[in-house]
Amino acid sequence: MGRFWQRAVLRIALLGGAGAGIGLLYDRPWLGLAIAMLAGLLYQLLWLGRLDAWLQGEKLAFLPEGEGVWARVFSRVDFLKQRNRRRSKRFKALVKQLRQATRSFPDGGVILNESNEIVVFNRAASMMLGFKKKDRGLRVENLLRDPDFVDYLRSDEQSEAVEIVSPLEPDTWLLCHIVPYGLNQKMLLVRDVTQQHKIEHMRRDFVANASHELRTPLTVITGYLDALSDDPQLDAELRVPMEEMSAQAARMRQLVDELLRLSELEADRGVVDGSPVDMRAVVETARQEARAQPNCPATIEAVLDSDQGLRGIRKDIQSIVSNLVSNAVRYTPAAGQITIRWWIDKSGAYLSVRDNGPGIAREHIPRLCERFYRVENGRERVGGEGGTGLGLAIVRHALLRHGGSLNIDSILGEGSLFTCYFPVSRIVAVD
């Protein structure tokens, strides 16, 4: 107990004592004590009333000085009050700074609540999306009506961003990304990607145009080569170089075709719908193609665990399977074995191609689907005559178009396993 409190107790005791003493003079000590206590209580109440009045009247900056313990209580309350005032001042300044920061933020930000209603947005967002101040409380999909965005907003999977055309400028592309935070709150981040879009477009156009332009001269070259090699007067020693030239021209032709195919796949960003594709037929075709390749391994086994097919584009799915199988053939020795498997489980449909070739070192796997990426040492090609280096890139893009993905497992010296995944929604029955 502090000094103040000791003194307060002492004062009550003294007051009580005095009251009782005076009462004793009149032979009524208890009455005296009671009156004294009552007076003391009223006095305390008076101070309590003052404190209450002061707490209520915020404007009353100065503080009744108080007396005894009250002085102490008052100064404590005053201290708390001042500390609060300082704190809220600091917070206000902080909020102001944050506001200014978000305002100058180059990317748009919109905060959405659980039913996708707009809570707040920054200036960039209102510039890019055309939101007005009174739009707060509106559902965001009522203003951003692009079907791609609406699908993205309603899907649970919001890890990837979606690109939409700006509702204000038809030539402006915006990248929208929804990030969930807190309790059911969402932040919609918007970035202007028109420039990247243009560059990407130009690159794709360039590749497509260049490949297309290369085709014509190539046709002329192969035409003359064919005519010349049929010529009976041709020198015997020129035969071998001629054949080599034809082979290389054919290879170049394949390269150009695949480049065109790839740029075609890349240009079509969206997911395609398509029609039912019979996987048995697809796998059978891939097997036959593989048999036609030189140095085909002894056994190519096909295990089809399901009769179901896939909804998609036949040409794309065929090129996925054929590319994987022909890759496997290329890297598997003649005594090796290749297994193609097709199966379905609860999470989706799978197609895998397993070989027991030399395998791929771990560090190469992430880059395997890049265009022209070739493993230099680990994967010795068996046949010598290689692919174009575009096969896996085509596989990946064709899979993306069908909402699927590619998984690669490999152990050096034991073989590789390429597994394609397709979502459940793609599984259909075929007759």
Partner 1 sequence: MESEIFGQHISRKFNEELEGLRSQVSTMGGLVERQLTSAIEAIVSADSQLGIEVADRDVLVNQIEVEIDEECGRILATRAPAAADLRLIVAVIKVITDLERIGDEAQRIGILAARLAAEERPANRYDELKTLADHVLDMVHDALDAFSRLDAEDALKVVEEDKIVDEEYDMISRQCITLMMEDPRTIHRFMDVSWAARALERIGDHAKNISEYVIYLVQGKDVRHTEIEAVREQVERAKEFK
Pick between residue 123 and residue 139 the one whose CB is nearest to partner 1. Answer: 139
- Minimum Å gap between C-beta 196 and partner 1 is 21
Could you tell me the smallest distance in angstroms from the CB atom of residue 254 to partner 1?
A: 26
**Secondary structure (DSSP) of 196-239:** HHHHHHHHHHHHHHHHHHHHHHHHHHHHHHHHHHT-TTS-HHHH
Contact 334, 395 (CB under 8 A): no
Residue 389 and residue 379 in contact, taking contact as beta carbons nearer than 8 Å:
no
Closer to partner 1 by CB, 129 or 328: give it. Answer: 129
The candidate with the shortest Cα–Cα distance to 342, out of 430, 415, 260, 271, is: 430
Residue 111 C-beta: closest distance to partner 1, Å: 12
Is residue 285 classed exposed, middle or buried when 0-12, 13-18 and 19+ CB atoms within 10 A define those classes?
Answer: middle
The C-alpha torsion from 130 through 133 and 137 to 140, rounded to 10°, is: 10
Nearer to partner 1, 16 or 167 (CB): 167
In the complex, the smallest distance separating the C-beta of residue 167 from partner 1, rounded to whole angstroms, is 7
Nearer to partner 1, 14 or 127 (CB): 127
| Contact positions vs partner 1 (CB under 8 A) | 113, 115, 117, 119, 130, 132, 134-139, 141-143, 145-147, 149-150, 165, 167, 170
Give the nearest distance from C-beta 237 to partner 1 in angstroms. Answer: 51
CB 65 within 8 A of CB 74: yes
CB of 142 to partner 1, least distance (A): 4
DSSP assignment of 354-387 equals EE-SS---GGGGGGTTSTT---SSSS--SSSS--
Rg of the chain over CA atoms, in angstroms? Answer: 41
Minimum distance, C-beta of residue 130 to partner 1, in the bound complex (Å): 8
The smaller minimum CB distance to partner 1, of residues 118 and 349, is found at 118
User: Coil, helix or strand for 87?
Assistant: helix
Task: Report d(CA 253, CA 223) in Å as an integer.
Answer: 12
Q: Are 274 and 428 in contact (CB under 8 A)?
A: no
- Min dist CB 164 to partner 1, Å, is 10
> CA 256, CA 225: separation in Å to the nearest integer?
18
How far apart CA 274 and CA 370 sit, in angstroms, is: 26
Of 201 and 374, nearer to partner 1 (C-beta) is 201
Q: Which is nearer to partner 1, 156 or 171 (CB)?
A: 171
Which of 97, 275 has the CB closer to partner 1?
275
* Minimal distance, residue 2 CB to partner 1, in Å: 52
CB of 81 to partner 1, least distance (A): 34
Rounded Cα distance, 17 and 1, in Å: 22
- Helices (H), strands (E): how many in the chain? 11, 13
Entry field: residues in the chain:
431
Upper half-sphere CA count for residue 317 (Cβ side, 13 Å):
31
Bridge partners for 344 per DSSP: 349
Sheet holding 415-423, edge to edge: 299-304, 337-345, 348-355, 415-423, 405-411
Nearer to partner 1 (CB atom), residue 147 or residue 384: 147
- Between residues 129 and 256, which has the closer beta carbon with respect to partner 1? 129
